[in-house]
Structures are given as C-alpha cells and as structure tokens.
C-alpha cells in the first residue's frame, strides 16, 4: 500500500518532544524529496522545478494548527490535459525556489501578469485586467470588515486545474475548424473553448449557480445583505420561472452570472451594473432570451419580490386559489367517501346494474361528441404532464421517456396541446349553438332550482337520512358542476396561457400574476378531474374499472334508471304518448 506523507505542524512551542518529532518528520521529508528528485527526474524531465517528484503521491500534505489536513497531491495526467497543462508549476508559483519550500509559499495571485499568448491573436495576455475589474466590483476588496467575505478567483474557479479535457468531444466539434486552422496554438484554443463553452464544461449551469450559492446561502452574508435591503437571493430566484426552469434542467435558462455578470458585479443602483434600470433592457434581450421585450416587461421583479399593492394582489390571489383548492377538493373527497360506502350498500341490496350489451340502450354521446371528448382528454393529459414537469421534482417524473425532458420539446408539446384544446373547445361552442342536439344538451346543462333540491336529497341519502336516492334528470348536479367548472377553468387557463406565451409584451408584473394564476388553476383542474370526474364516471362501485359510454356512446336501461331516473320517466312518457 502507498504511504501517506505529511508534516505535523500543531502548536508545540513548549513541548520538547513534539519539537523533536517535528524536526525528525521534516528531516525525513527532506531526505525523501531528494531521493525522489534523483530517481524520478528522467520521468518528469519536462517539469523544470521537478515539483511532481513529491506531489505525485496521493495524500501528500500536512496538518495545520487547527488539525485540518491539506492535501497537495497533483494528478499529473489530469493537470497535463487541463487548460493550464501547457504551463510549468512555477509559472504560477513563482515564489517557490527551495525544496522543502522555505519560506512558506504564498497563495497564487491569478491576477498577476502571466504574459501568456492569446491563442488566436498571439498577443501577450494577462489576467490582471480581469483582476482589476473584480476589484472595482462589489466583490472587490475595500479595506473593511467585509473583505473576509469577498470571493477571490479560486472561490469561483473551483478545482479549475483539474477540469478534464474531453478530447473526443472537442475533436468532433473542431473537425471543420482544423481543416484550415492547424497547429498546437489552435489546439490550445480549442481546449479553452471546450472548458468554458462545451456541453460538459466546468462552466455549466449547475456549477455556476452552486458557486454563487456557496456564499449567498451563508447565514452571515444573508444577514448583511438583508441589512441593505436584499432578501434571500437564492430562495427568491428558485421561486421564479427562471429558477423553476433551472430546477427542471433547462439548459437555456439564465442563472445568476448570466444576469449579474461574472467579474463586473455592481449594486443595482450603480449604472455600470447589468441589472441597473438603464442596462436591464439590454441584459434581458441579449443572448436570445427575451428578444423584442417591451420596456414594461423588464420593469417587474426578476426575483418575484414585490411590495405595496403588487404584493397584496399576489397575496390575495394565493389566498383565493388556495382556499378554492382546499374547499372544493376537500368537499369532493368527503362526498366521494360517503358515496363509496353508500353505493356499496345499495349494490349489495339491489345488485349491479346490467350493462348495455343487450336489450334497450340509451344514447349518451354521439360519435362526434365521443371524438371531441377523446381529443379533450388527450390534450388535457399532455397539458397536465408537461406543465407539472416545471414544478414537480424531476425524480418524480422519471417514469416518462427521456426525450420528454428536452425542454424545448416539452414547451412545444404544451403549446400544441393548448392549441388542440382551444380548437376542440371552440368546436364545442359552435356545436352547442348551431345544432339541435347541442342546444338541447346546453339547455339541460344550465343550473336549475331542482338541482339544489336533488343535491340536498342526495346528501341525505349518502349520510343515511333518506332511504332512496333522488331522481336525476339528463344531467345531475355533479355533472353540471364539473361542466361549468371546466368551462371556467378553460377560460382562465387560456387567457393566462396567451399572456405567458407572449410575455415579452409585458408588463412583467402582470405576467407574474398570470403565471401564478395559471399554476394554481392547473392544480385545481387536475385534482378536480382525478377526484371528481374519474371517481363518479369510472371508479365508483358498479362502474369500476370504467364506464364504456365514452367508447360505445350508450348506457343500459338499468344504468339509466340508476343515474337518470327522472329523464328515463320522461322518455317513457314520451314513448307512450307517441
């Protein structure tokens, strides 16, 4: 097994034994380094400083005065294939001249004048300009108590040196480029492009946002930002549409640095800031995000934080729809529980109603009505699934095919399904107005005083205060409630959906209002269909696993008497008179 090499540096000024042990450990390390220097020098001939003679060993490091182990191991292969692989160690660690390192090496200053050559222009390049930009930004050192919280280069460029170079990916992308541009210098440029812009790059969204979260989720930093008016930037971002898209895995959605910049980060009040009111239009419309967005669109809160009357409007919308969801769905669940047990008792006493396989049958749905019902069901299901993907954790949606998680495809599935539902709804309106049967069904669907009477009678029956169920007409109260609720929901979802589709027209506050209503109404609609429609039409005792009426279009005479006795009596009376 390979040994762990480290130096014990705990405070031992008044302990002769510990001092002696430290001297022995230092001497052993010195001897080891010299031996390795001569043994391995042919292998690392290209390393001028012979740094890898010691740093090639895993767990080579030291324990500091706080008992923290610092590992100085360097993976030579990964380093050589990194963006810094063409540099020697002393290019950045220029103060190291002795082995062992005495005096103690100072932290690397990434802003020093490296005098590298830019891969395309072949001109001298230095990170000093970037370092100057950072120092002038809100993250720069100002000589006060807050400096200890300020990031340095390596706070964001975490393990940058060990970013692997995916040669096969770069080769595929660069095949056309290399046909004309050849040479080692261009190869280095491609590595740089791959690291900072490739599909598997270090600078992907997850790493970009996690870098910002490392500081901005810190309790002390949050406390200081709250003192100047900021409120939990991370949590508020994740509640926005951008944040939801990021959580969903949308690779195109902007994250912190896309709006706030990388190095030139300034307070919103500073005109140099990308989020200053004078700069915000350019920021939001750049990179293909909100091209053509109106000035009113960018006037809202990007972190979904509003004050005054706007905050009250959002508050009351949440209160109204939350109350609707709890009240309506709660009533439906209670109703269905009572109906389930009462229906089982009724079936046990009277038996199951015969299906419409033979004998007299009654028309419930024509062919055109069944086709429109199927289209409505399919589009509603697609809308529910593609919409839920934006606010449900991805791990709960893994039963879907992987191609469904391509965000652009999901967007268009949602939009096409919305158009399909709009067209079938428009057809239904025309059918209800311009056809004889449509007008009859619409008239039967209008609420009447008798519906309140049959509702009370049915509640008494369900809770055993009445021995027989009421006589329902062509449509009972549950069918009417569902129909008009669906009509109302379609109007709300359609209106808010159009606003969201053309959100660039703004203003953004009303876009956020529409998004909130759209989401809450969708939750209410999906729960109502599952809890109310599916149970009463398909899952209740006597119908499980489903009613065939949506396929055949007819129900049996027994089913007609069971569910629409008043209408059956009307039809029988009409038959006798004719």
Looking at residue 444, what is its pLDDT? 95
User: With 60 as the cut, is the pLDDT of residue 100 above it?
Assistant: yes
Task: Extract the tokens encoding 559.
Answer: 């089913």
User: With 70 as the cut, is the pLDDT of residue 249 above it?
Assistant: no
User: With 70 as the cut, is the pLDDT of residue 127 above it?
Assistant: yes
Full set of structural domains in the chain with CATH: 1-110+152-162 (no CATH), 308-577 (1.20.950.20)
d(CA 578, CA 572): 10
Contact 340, 540 (CB under 8 A): yes
The SS3 assignment for 162 reads helix
Contact 133, 263 (CB under 8 A): yes
Task: Extract the tokens encoding 76.
Answer: 């030579």
Looking at residue 511, what is its pLDDT? 87
Q: What is the mean pLDDT of the chain?
A: 78
Looking at residue 4, what is its pLDDT? 39
> Which distant-in-sequence residues (6+ apart) come within 8 Å of 225 by Cβ?
216, 233
Contact 555, 361 (CB under 8 A): yes
Contact 30, 100 (CB under 8 A): yes
DSSP string, 260-309: H-SS----TTSTTSTTSHHHHHHHHHGGGSSTT--TTGGGS-TTS---HH
Looking at residue 463, what is its pLDDT? 92
Helix axes 449-462, 308-350, angle to 10 degrees: 60
Taking only the tens place, the pLDDT of each residue in 521-576 is 999 999 999 999 999 999 998 888 888 899 999 998 888 988 999 999 998 888 76
Q: How confident is the model at residue 350 (pLDDT cuts 50, 70, 90)?
A: confident
User: With 80 as the cut, is the pLDDT of residue 229 above it?
Assistant: no
d(CA 135, CA 147): 11
**Number of helices followed by number of strands (H, E) in the chain:** 23, 7
User: With 90 as the cut, is the pLDDT of residue 445 above it?
Assistant: yes
Give me the phi and psi of 418, to 5 degrees please: -65, -40
DSSP E strands: which ranges in 305-453?
A: 361-363
- Would strands 361-363 and 116-117 be described as parallel, antiparallel, or unpaired? unpaired
Task: Extract the tokens encoding 366.
Answer: 């024509």
User: With 90 as the cut, is the pLDDT of residue 447 above it?
Assistant: yes
Taking only the tens place, the pLDDT of each residue in 190-218 is 666 555 554 445 456 777 777 787 777 77
Give me the phi and psi of 6, to 5 degrees please: -155, 160
User: With 90 as the cut, is the pLDDT of residue 327 above it?
Assistant: yes
User: With 50 as the cut, is the pLDDT of residue 38 above it?
Assistant: no
Lowest-confidence segment of 231-235, 330-334, 370-374, 434-438 by average pLDDT: 231-235
User: With 60 as the cut, is the pLDDT of residue 414 above it?
Assistant: yes
- What is the average pLDDT across 483-496? 94
Higher-pLDDT residue of 83, 576: 83
């Amino acid at each position: 097994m390979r040994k762990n090499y480290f130096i014990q540096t705990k405070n031992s000024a008044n302990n002769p034994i510990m001092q002696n042990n430290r001297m022995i450990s230092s001497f052993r390390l010195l001897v080891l380094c010299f031996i390795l220097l001569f043994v391995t020098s042919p292998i690392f001939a290209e390393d001028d400083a012979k740094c890898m003679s010691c740093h090639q060993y895993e767990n080579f490091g030291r324990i500091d005065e706080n008992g923290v182990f610092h590992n100085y191991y360097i993976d030579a292969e990964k380093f050589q294939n990194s963006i810094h692989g063409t540099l020697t160690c002393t290019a950045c660690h220029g103060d190291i001249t002795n082995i062992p390192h005495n005096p103690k090496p100072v932290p690397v200053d990434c802003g020093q004048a490296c005098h590298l050559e830019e891969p395309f222009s072949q001109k001298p390049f230095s990170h000093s300009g970037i370092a100057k930009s950072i120092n002038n930004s809100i993250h720069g050192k100002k000589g006060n108590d807050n400096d200890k919280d300020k990031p340095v280069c390596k706070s964001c460029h975490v393990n940058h040196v060990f970013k692997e170079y995916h040669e096969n990916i770069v080769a595929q992308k660069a095949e056309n480029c290399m046909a004309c541009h050849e040479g080692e210098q261009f190869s280095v440029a491609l590595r740089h492009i791959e690291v900072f812009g490739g599909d598997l790059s270090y600078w992907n969204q997850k790493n970009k946002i996690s870098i910002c979260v490392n500081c901005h989720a810190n309790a002390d930093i949050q406390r200081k930002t709250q003192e100047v008016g900021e409120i939990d930037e991370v949590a508020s971002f994740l509640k926005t549409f951008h944040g939801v898209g990021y959580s969903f895995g949308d690779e195109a959605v902007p994250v912190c640095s896309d709006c706030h910049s990388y190095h030139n980060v300034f307070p919103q009040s500073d005109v140099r800031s990308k989020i200053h009111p004078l700069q915000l239009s350019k920021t939001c419309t750049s990179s293909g995000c909100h091209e053509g967005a109106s000035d009113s669109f960018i006037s809202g809160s990007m972190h979904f934080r509003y004050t005054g009357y706007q905050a009250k409007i959002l508050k009351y919308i949440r209160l109204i729809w939350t109350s609707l969801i709890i009240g309506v769905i709660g009533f439906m669940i209670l109703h269905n529980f009572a109906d389930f047990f009462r229906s089982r008792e009724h079936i046990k006493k009277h038996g199951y109603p015969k299906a419409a396989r033979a004998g007299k049958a009654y028309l419930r749905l024509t062919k055109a009505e069944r086709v429109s019902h199927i289209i409505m069901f399919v589009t509603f299901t697609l809308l529910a699934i593609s919409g839920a993907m934006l606010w449900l954790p991805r791990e709960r949606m893994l039963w879907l095919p992987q191609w469904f998680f391509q965000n652009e495809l999901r967007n268009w599935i949602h939009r096409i399904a919305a158009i399909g539902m709009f067209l079938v709804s428009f057809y239904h309106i025309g059918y209800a107005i311009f056809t004889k049967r449509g007008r009859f069904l619409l008239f039967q669907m209008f609420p009447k005083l008798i519906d309140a009477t049959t509702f009370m009678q049915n509640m008494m029956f369900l809770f055993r205060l009445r021995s027989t169920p009421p006589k329902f007409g062509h449509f009972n109260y549950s069918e009417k409630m569902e129909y008009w609720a669906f009509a109302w929901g379609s109007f709300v979802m359609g209106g808010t959906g159009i606003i969201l589709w053309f959100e660039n027209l703004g203003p953004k506050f009303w876009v956020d209002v529409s998004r909130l209503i759209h989401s809450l109404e969708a939750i209410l609609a999906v729960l109502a269909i599952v809890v109310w429609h599916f149970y009463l039409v398909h899952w209740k005792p006597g119908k499980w696993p489903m009613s065939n009426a949506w396929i055949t279009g007819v129900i049996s005479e027994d089913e007609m008497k069971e569910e629409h006795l008043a209408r059956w009596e009307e039809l029988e009376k009409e038959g006798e008179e004719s």
